[in-house]
Structure 1
């Protein structure tokens, strides 16, 4: 399939935003429980991961363009183009995240304000990214389900990163770890249920489109969607299994790393399968 650059790009950027969101949230919750240096030691590795993932995602996205060196031309119609807006907000997101990471590396000081701004810009970026496809001419994308799936990936992958950030820092206060771990698991379960509950509404929309005269030349998204039923089913089963594993990874006062590894792997595989089905329109 020739859409691998878009699959990699969207998942990497959404994972980056999710890591930044959960890192920022955890720092806000731990405001009185950790001193400045402890916050920096906790957040810096995941800020670096988020920055690298976002930068790699943007680099991969240029592979989808016919002439990558002319990518800057996509910025010419900000007032009317969701693509232009997405590029601008992605760049601003990485700029603020990169500045915050650089300050933490050089001055040994963590700027929560920069992380908060980066988180907000990341949310707007993912909204613009979703809007590109919702406002396209591909019938399987032109639904609120696209927003839900993209933001669902942000929260799912962010929750995974949050649990790992707690698992690799055993010296954090146990009450804080418990609160953050339970919050991450609860959000993961909630967003997974929301995504699942939206599917009947989405299927009803596609059924009505099937009975209309919708034509998306030269693609056949409805036909491709029907052919990938087994892939979607497998993706949802894997995702649910991953969520169940992560739901069980919190044991008494610690995180079970075996279950965390299993659940994390299953969720990443499920997100890749779901995104593959999303972009396969012919």
Structure 2
């Protein structure tokens, strides 16, 4: 399955960016409510997870290259290549995040400004990552749906990490934990609804190519898209069920870890299956 390296790479990097973004937003929200040690106790585990996920993602990304040692040659066309730009911004993102994590580890102090810079670099990196496929010759990729999918996955995976952090290390007061958790879930619900609403537009776009003379040999993305319709339907149902479980885990005063675990598994598996369907073009 030659799609798996791309599936793992994109989801790990996007999840890493989502975690960094949520950690940054929460620290900014709680800036006046937490002391230095509490900020570090909350943010450091998230930073470590984000850095490890991003580093593993970049390592896995070389697996789909014919000769991984040639990866550095992709940097030679920054002015015209989205791949070159993606590599540069991914490296900058991981470098700044790594620096912020090292500072936190050795000084027990979180530099929010470094996390903010890393978040911005990560957002740009996801844009460049999406643009690689949008500007390809594969019709199932050349649509705004690609941006929605990649950013949606980043926010969803980041929200899950945020909820687990709040559930296991509640450094904020209970009322503020609930406020942040509800905000994260509402954001995921909104993004998921936007992705669902966008799907008919995406399918309508693909329909314009069915009877055209467009050919992308040796790939048959439209045929693969049709063959995987049941997988996509199951993935969307799973994603909706997972997001619903994330919402239900907030019904009590404390985050229900069992329901959160169920929602997390459903969302992650759904994103993996949707990404596998996206990269299956043969």
Query: Aligning the two structures, in what range does the TM-score lie when normalised by the shorter sequence?
Result: over 0.9
The question of whether the paired residues in 1 share the 8 Å contact of 2:42 and 2:171 is answered with no
Distance 1:34 1:57 in 2: 32
Aligned-residue offset at 1:172: 2.7
Q: Does 1:263 align with 2:232?
A: no
Distance 1:253 1:234 in 2: 32
1:237 alignment counterpart: 237
1:4 alignment counterpart: 4
Structure 1 segment 59-78 matched on structure 2, within 5 A: 59-78=59-78
Q: CA RMSD in A?
A: 0.7
Q: Does 1:118 align with 2:118?
A: yes
TM-score, normalised relative to structure 2: 0.99
The question of whether the paired residues in 1 share the 8 Å contact of 2:242 and 2:266 is answered with yes
The question of whether the paired residues in 2 share the 8 Å contact of 1:97 and 1:114 is answered with yes
Q: Does 1:219 align with 2:222?
A: no
The question of whether the paired residues in 2 share the 8 Å contact of 1:33 and 1:176 is answered with no
TM-score, normalised relative to structure 1: 0.99
2:174 alignment counterpart: 174
Distance 2:257 2:271 in 1: 21
Structure 1 segment 177-188 matched on structure 2, within 5 A: 177-188=177-188
Aligned-residue offset at 1:170: 3.4
SS of the equivalent of 1:254 reads coil
Q: Does 1:251 align with 2:251?
A: yes
Distance 1:41 1:171 in 2: 8
Aligned-residue offset at 1:171: 4.5
* Structure 1 residues not aligned, in runs of 5+: none
Distance 1:51 1:169 in 2: 19
The question of whether the paired residues in 2 share the 8 Å contact of 1:242 and 1:267 is answered with yes
SS of the equivalent of 1:76 reads helix
The question of whether the paired residues in 2 share the 8 Å contact of 1:14 and 1:150 is answered with yes
The question of whether the paired residues in 2 share the 8 Å contact of 1:167 and 1:257 is answered with yes
Aligned length: 282
Distance 2:77 2:50 in 1: 28
Runs of 4+ in 1 over 6 A off after TM superposition: none
Aligned-residue offset at 1:251: 2.9
Aligned-residue offset at 1:176: 1.4
2:82 alignment counterpart: 82
Distance 1:213 1:244 in 2: 42
Cα displacement string for residues 153-183 of structure 1 (whole angstroms, at most 9, x for unaligned residues): 0011011111001000135311210111010
2:200 alignment counterpart: 200
1:131 alignment counterpart: 131
1:105 alignment counterpart: 105
Aligned-residue offset at 1:37: 1.0
Aligned-residue offset at 1:253: 2.1
Distance 1:3 1:240 in 2: 24
Aligned-residue offset at 1:116: 0.1
**Deviates further, 179-188 or 163-172:** 163-172
